[in-house]
Amino acid sequence: MIESILFDLSGVLYDGDQVIPGAQQAVQRAQRSGIEVRFITNTSQKTRQNLLLHLHSLKFAVEETQLFTAVDAARQWLRQRNLRPFCLVHENIIGEFADFDQHNPNAVLIADAAEGFHYHSLNRAFQLCIAGAPLLGIGYNRYFKSGDQLVLDAGAFIKTIEFGAGVEAVIVGKPSVEFFKQVVASTSARPEHTLMVGDDVFGDVEGALNVGLQAALVRTGKYRPGDEDKVSGDFNTVDSVTEAVELALNNRG
């Protein structure tokens, strides 16, 4: 039985500025069916507001309360602990942390910094962590798709600091158990009646299964042949979000 669907964004609903064929109609079908819909992402090159604007420009009817981002989760985590972060993040979202005191940082935050990942910035993160600062990561994704290319995501750089400083990062986006629980808690559905639809077999599928959700891996976005064999557990592999929604509708309560 499916009572709610969690949609990943990039690679599932769109690829850059191009909508995945059938995605708009699939989301609309889910929304009209009465199934509760949420949109979740580790994307950290756009602010929350820009993500909403982007989704609306692509004709996806997303309400602000339906969107859950790893950047929001990171802000909450830092604020709760009154920390001063060294922000190794993309220039597009640096303003999201402008209200934090960043003088004499006592925490390290790593997101997808793109060209901001270089020896000086990574070494600064390493020095802070080896001195005792907690390491916070927005997601643990290995790579993502940008246009026709696969490019390194923040997970690879988080792993570098973990290895160098001998620490373990706190991950606030997918595949964090707490992140998934937060999203599910915003619905009236139980975890076992919730379907995660994503293109990342680790962050989306394995992460969802670890929380007791159902999962569907789509063969769009960064999916690579054989991904479905890389994790254990019971989940569906489908051609696109269209088939994932059809699967949910055929099994809704």
Residues 182 and 203 sit within 8 Å (Cβ to Cβ): no
Residue 191 carries which side chain, given as an amino acid letter? P
Residues linked to residue 150 through DSSP beta bridges, in sequence order: 145
For position 139, what pLDDT does the model report? 83
For position 106, what pLDDT does the model report? 98
Q: Was domain 4-42+174-212+223-249 assigned CATH 3.40.50.1000?
A: yes
CATH code for the domain defined by 77-171: 3.40.50.1000
What is the number of other CB atoms lying within 10 angstroms of the CB of residue 29? 16
Delimit the CATH 3.40.50.1000 region(s) of the chain: 4-42+174-212+223-249, 77-171
HSE at residue 191, side-chain half, CA atoms within 13 A, is: 13
Residues 162 and 154 sit within 8 Å (Cβ to Cβ): no
Residue 163 carries which side chain, given as an amino acid letter? F
Residues 51 and 6 sit within 8 Å (Cβ to Cβ): no
* Separation of alpha carbons 22 and 19, rounded Å: 8
What is the number of other CB atoms lying within 10 angstroms of the CB of residue 16? 11
Tens digit of each residue's pLDDT, the chain (253 residues): 999 999 999 999 999 889 999 999 999 999 999 999 999 999 888 999 999 999 999 999 999 999 999 999 999 999 999 999 999 999 999 999 999 999 999 999 999 999 999 999 999 999 999 999 999 999 888 888 777 788 888 899 999 999 999 999 999 999 999 999 999 999 999 999 999 999 999 999 999 999 999 999 999 999 999 999 999 999 999 999 999 999 999 987 6
* Separation of alpha carbons 225 and 64, rounded Å: 34
What is the number of other CB atoms lying within 10 angstroms of the CB of residue 8? 23
Tokens 């989704």 found at: 55
Tokens 């499916």 found at: 2
For position 253, what pLDDT does the model report? 62
pTM value? 0.87
What is the number of other CB atoms lying within 10 angstroms of the CB of residue 174? 30
